[in-house]
Structure 1
Amino acid sequence: MEDLLAATPEALQGARSLTLSQLFLSLSLPSAMEAPMCLIESNDGEELRINREALQILQRIRHPVVVVSIVGLYRTGKSYLMNRLAGKRTGFSLGCEMQANTKGIWMWCLPYPDRKDQTLVLLDTEGLGDVDKADKQNDSWIFALSVLLSSTLVYNSMGTIDQSAIDKLHYVTELTERIKAKASPGGSVDGGLEDSIEYLRFFPSFVWTLRDFTLQLKLNGKPITENEYLENALKLKKGDTPDVQLFNLPRKCIRFFFPTRKCLIFDRPTSRKNLHRLEQMEESELEPDFVEQANQFCNYIFWTSKEKTLPGGHVVTGHLLAKLAESYVETICSGKVPCMESSVLALAEMENTAAVEEAVSCYEKLIGQRLSLPTESIQELLGVHAECEKEALQVFMKRAFKDDELRFQIKLMKTLDDRKEEYCRRNEQESSKHCQALLASLSVELEEKVHSWVYSQPNGHKQFVEDLKDVEERYYREPKKGVMAEEALKQFLEGKDAISRAILQSDTALSEKEKQMEEARAQADATQREQEVQQQKQAELEQKKQDQQRSCQENIQQLMLKMKHVHEQILEEHKKMLESRLAVSISREQEALVNEGLQVEAGRMKEDVQDLREKSARVKEFSWTNTAMLLLIACRNYWPQIIEKGVGLFM
């Protein structure tokens, strides 16, 4: 990434070149919007309003989104650049006439070029600084929303980066008034430039595009790159007077809020008299240098723009972006200041609830496809359950985030265990129903003989026992009886005990002693059957217990995999924040040596760096076992028998 940021347009163009024809081909997919649509309406004199139709389009996008937004003064050619990114001549309104065209924030969702399963969301904003606009606060909110929603923010301006251009970017100095990074324990929101380090976890990368640029890129007679030109323009003045503070403030804000910066320059695309028909002009009619620069711009954006993420590295889908946009606009319309941390936590609550529901739905769908009741054994059912639970858990892990107390994962565990128990009950019911019907069918002849008094004659009891044994043997030969086979047979034979005793007592061919021996034998058989049924039930309980241990282990393993990924993302965030703050701190300390007025600020920067280092060290020392133990304790509370083998779950 650093190499790309430092690369010249020529080097970047040499690394990869996307022609317009390739762009058209890559974007001509059925999921692409045919034209832009207003996402956030901004009618002068009225409050901001979400366009529900556009919101629904975003909500249907379940892929990660890369959000590129563009802001700048009106009539500076923002929409033309966005159309180039879309690979189209027309789409976003160019607004070449005196009155600004784009009102609010317009959205265009397209498949990302050369990136599978990603969506490019282009956000074109109304021009800032429109003299005809009654509500000047509206511009600040449009700028703030562009920052909040994007992963790459393009600021478009005309000419050079002089004091006038910096002054027109005063919206960046108002960001701490329009956006708060964290909520305080009391429920209020903290902010301010001194807390800018927290903003780095949320804010996009920054690209400054300079249109109709006419200067030679030289400094002190030596050639410089566009980025060096930008960094030179952002240098701070020494001193602590009000004028110096006013000069430095927007520059400090850009440097602090957007440590990832890039500058790109453009020649004039065509003569002034042809600007009004820019949409209709072929590339061959445009200035060759401009065409080359426009292609370099597209290449840079496509290569460097990343998926929109939330702190901790959770990737934002179109569905999540819709919720964020809705949340921010509702907060602004309520007269409050959007707090990024609060919005993310509220979003996590909704998403984690939905993640549980989606996972349970996935489980029900899978087990409905794979499980046929009744099963031959409880182990067969538990095996299918384990497969479906694993896949459902993966669905949950993919969508859930910031479930720090594991409330939602534990809820999912309990829900799936309840579903498993319900399927076990249904399995027993289906098996019992099938076995009872089977036994009734097999014993038809036996019942007819009983009702016809066939066994009420000498040696009738022996014949009855033989016929009953024949029913039992034929029953055992029948397949797919299910888990209640033994229990159903036991109940069937118990139902015949009274008939057997009656026939035995009336059998004149047997002596009293023989009758007593026969009764003892029958009792022994019944006892043995009862023992076999109890042994089967005990074995099933042990299998369920083992399945609960397996489930707990599966949850812990998937949790640790997810946490490892989150941990890596947090470390990367801290690394970037530390590098950004360290670079600023060093420069402030150097300036402080010759400028007494900056010493306090330099000292604070050094404190920020030390605090970040300590936080990074704590993140590196994070113990997976402690968090896994939290889940294990939850398992124990829900399934007390897991205590016996809890330690083994970490092996």
Structure 2
Amino acid sequence: MSFFFGSKKQKPLEPVSSSAASPGAPLELVRYSTATGKFEVPNEALEVLRSINGPVGVVSVCGRARQGKSFILNQLLGQSTGFTVGPTHRPCTKGLWMWSTPVEQRAPDGSKYHLVLLDTEGIDAYDQTGQYSTQIFSLAVLLSSLFVYNQMGGIDEAALDRLSLVTEMTKHIRVRAGSAGGSSEDELSNFTPSFMWLLRDFYLTLEEEGRTITPKEYLETALQPIRGQGRSVEAKNAIRESIKALFPNRDCFALKRPMSDENQLSRLETVPPSQLRPEFREGLERLTKLIFARAQPKRLGPQIISGPMLAGLASAYVEAINNGAVPTISTAWQGVAEAESRRAADAAEQAYRDAFNRDISADEGQLDAEHARALAVAQSVFNDKAVGEDSVRVANAKRFHERCQRDFEAFRKERLASGELECQKLINAAQAHLTQVTILQGAAWMLLTSAPDWAAKRNGLYRPIKFCWAKCNADSSYTIAALVRSFIRSAQSSQCL
């Protein structure tokens, strides 16, 4: 498990574009079945994730119900009607929803990755239990590379109390199996995403001791421990410490109120941009750019996560919750690594078959050389795709090597047998040719020696004999009748007959 402890410091990534509308539709990634009392990961969402080749990042927006989480995600999509935004008190989003078309991003080195956007159910919806809220919150954190916590107003004690889910989350997640209770915040911080606290309808002036401060400084001040004694103070400070420990890479962004008309606020997605306050429009543009810049490919330690890996992690975490167990990151990763290494072995085997030249001649040396060349191509494919510990990689490498060897041995046996058959055909044809030539030569000699006055005319017959002899040697299909006709014509032209 040594890979779990890589550095979390990475360069920010820049968006390819954040203005063009993204095609697609919302898909349920995690839903709760009231019939079974269990979470489900629909196949449609899994298939979308599995189709994403290469690195994948995840931005999730979480917070209280009915406070505009979906609106923010739609801005990232460059449209107003992507994720559902509703005007009533009833929550629109249940479980976790993802956009079906990932947003293509580009890293500073020019490499591409795909960004998945997640909309989460409000963590305090009226029809939720405390455990359910913690589970939804935990799943969003575990799957994200950037976790945006959306709330109205400033950071006060009530706002911090609502994030007590962070403290509860540490009791419901383990880094590795066998640890009693949950894992420590410091240990979990190796796997938690970057954190952004988004303050909506923010009206406060950010000043401290007469100087202007940044939203991040405002956040850090709010997270300082409060003075006092007693269980209440200890609980408040525990929340602060949990937030700081779990999210060492954190930021804050303050967004002004978009307009004063309450009726229009409830239908913000339908309001023309020209009717929004200029400071809100400017802030919204800066926010989308900041989110895209802070988003990164999802990692577990130094391992960059791909779409199929993300699908495997989502399924593993949900399965653990459904079984009444604590989601264990290392256990989930081991299952994903094993599945990905099996996929890598299958891809390598196919690469071997595609690379192997089946028109190679039936020569032992050439066959062995072609096998080695195709196997090197397959090994390169496996190395690019396989993940996990050495034991997992070695076992699956052995599996595809054995399959390739079996394929090669079967082909070699078939090819050599085919070569032997071709050789035998050539030998038989040569033997038939020699037999025919011998017969024709004998017939020519008999024809010659039977000619009248053979001794006297032998000098004159030499030329047609030579001509017919050449015919016999050159063409095994030359028949005796043809030989006779040819001999007579040649001899007559020489006036020997």
Q: 2:445: which partner in 1?
A: none
- CA distances 1:337-378 after superposition (whole Å, capped 9, x unpaired): 1111111011112221221111111111221xx331435x44
The alpha-carbon distance between structure 1 residues 123 and 436, as it changes in their structure 2 partners (threshold 3 A), is: same
CA distance in 2, matches of 1:127, 1:299: 24
Matched, 1:182 2:188: no
Shift of 1:403: 3.2
Matched, 1:297 2:287: yes
Matched, 1:136 2:122: no
Q: 2:30: which partner in 1?
A: 40
- Structure 1 segment 247-286 matched on structure 2, within 5 A: 247-271=236-260, 272-286=262-276
* 1:431 aligned to which of 414, 419, 424: 419
Whichever of the two has the greater Rg, that structure is 2
- Structure 1 segment 193-272 matched on structure 2, within 5 A: 195-238=184-227, 241-271=230-260, 272=262
The alpha-carbon distance between structure 1 residues 359 and 19, as it changes in their structure 2 partners (threshold 3 A), is: closer
Matched, 1:333 2:319: no
Q: 1:112: which partner in 2?
A: 104
SS across alignment from 2:171: helix
Shift of 1:316: 1.6
CA distance in 1, matches of 2:16, 2:348: 40
Moved more, 352-361 or 147-156: 352-361
Q: 1:55: which partner in 2?
A: 46
The alpha-carbon distance between structure 1 residues 403 and 415, as it changes in their structure 2 partners (threshold 3 A), is: farther
The alpha-carbon distance between structure 1 residues 110 and 449, as it changes in their structure 2 partners (threshold 3 A), is: same
Q: 2:456: which partner in 1?
A: none
Shift of 1:291: 1.4
CA distance in 1, matches of 2:10, 2:210: 26
Shift of 1:262: 0.7
- Structure 1 segment 214-613 matched on structure 2, within 5 A: 214-238=203-227, 241-271=230-260, 272-311=262-301, 313-367=302-356, 370-375=357-362, 377-405=363-391, 406-446=394-434
CA distance in 1, matches of 2:401, 2:229: 60
The alpha-carbon distance between structure 1 residues 3 and 201, as it changes in their structure 2 partners (threshold 3 A), is: closer
SS across alignment from 1:306: coil
Q: 2:118: which partner in 1?
A: 123
- CA distances 1:93-130 after superposition (whole Å, capped 9, x unpaired): 12221111111111103232446642211010111111
CA distance in 1, matches of 2:406, 2:10: 53
Shift of 1:252: 0.8
Shift of 1:449: 8.2
Which residues of structure 1 form unaligned runs of 5+? 6-11, 455-473, 475-651
Matched, 1:150 2:115: no
Matched-pair contact (CA < 8 Å) for 2:86–2:267: no
Report the residue type matching 2:41 in the other structure: I
- Equivalent pairs counted in the alignment come to 429
Shift of 1:268: 0.9
CA distance in 2, matches of 1:291, 1:127: 25
Q: Select the structure with the greater relative contact order (CA < 8 A; seq sep ≥ 6).
A: 2
Shift of 1:150: 0.8
Q: Percent identity?
A: 34
CA distance in 1, matches of 2:299, 2:290: 20
CA distance in 1, matches of 2:223, 2:352: 55
Matched-pair contact (CA < 8 Å) for 2:105–2:112: no
Shift of 1:241: 3.3
CA distance in 1, matches of 2:11, 2:376: 40
Q: 2:89: which partner in 1?
A: 98
RMSD after superposition? 2.8
- CA distances 1:493-530 after superposition (whole Å, capped 9, x unpaired): xxxxxxxxxxxxxxxxxxxxxxxxxxxxxxxxxxxxxx
SS across alignment from 1:356: helix
Matched-pair contact (CA < 8 Å) for 1:147–1:153: yes
Q: 2:72: which partner in 1?
A: 81
CA distance in 1, matches of 2:294, 2:365: 51
Report the residue type matching 1:358 in the other structure: A
CA distance in 2, matches of 1:300, 1:403: 35
* Structure with greater helix share of residues: 1
CA distance in 2, matches of 1:434, 1:284: 82
CA distance in 2, matches of 1:393, 1:18: 33
The alpha-carbon distance between structure 1 residues 404 and 253, as it changes in their structure 2 partners (threshold 3 A), is: same
CA distance in 2, matches of 1:208, 1:400: 36
Matched-pair contact (CA < 8 Å) for 1:373–1:430: no
TM-score by length of 1: 0.61
Report the residue type matching 2:52 in the other structure: I
CA distance in 2, matches of 1:338, 1:2: 25
Matched-pair contact (CA < 8 Å) for 1:156–1:210: yes
CA distance in 2, matches of 1:180, 1:352: 24
The alpha-carbon distance between structure 1 residues 216 and 434, as it changes in their structure 2 partners (threshold 3 A), is: same
CA distance in 1, matches of 2:15, 2:425: 73
CA distance in 2, matches of 1:270, 1:384: 71
SS across alignment from 1:259: coil
The alpha-carbon distance between structure 1 residues 240 and 393, as it changes in their structure 2 partners (threshold 3 A), is: farther
Q: 1:23: which partner in 2?
A: 20
Shift of 1:315: 2.1
Matched-pair contact (CA < 8 Å) for 2:106–2:113: no
Report the residue type matching 1:98 in the other structure: H
SS across alignment from 1:23: coil
Matched-pair contact (CA < 8 Å) for 1:152–1:205: yes
CA distance in 2, matches of 1:418, 1:320: 30
Moved more, 340-349 or 38-47: 38-47
SS across alignment from 1:122: strand
Which residues of structure 2 form unaligned runs of 5+? 1-7, 443-473, 475-497
- CA distances 1:524-557 after superposition (whole Å, capped 9, x unpaired): xxxxxxxxxxxxxxxxxxxxxxxxxxxxxxxxxx
TM-score by length of 2: 0.79
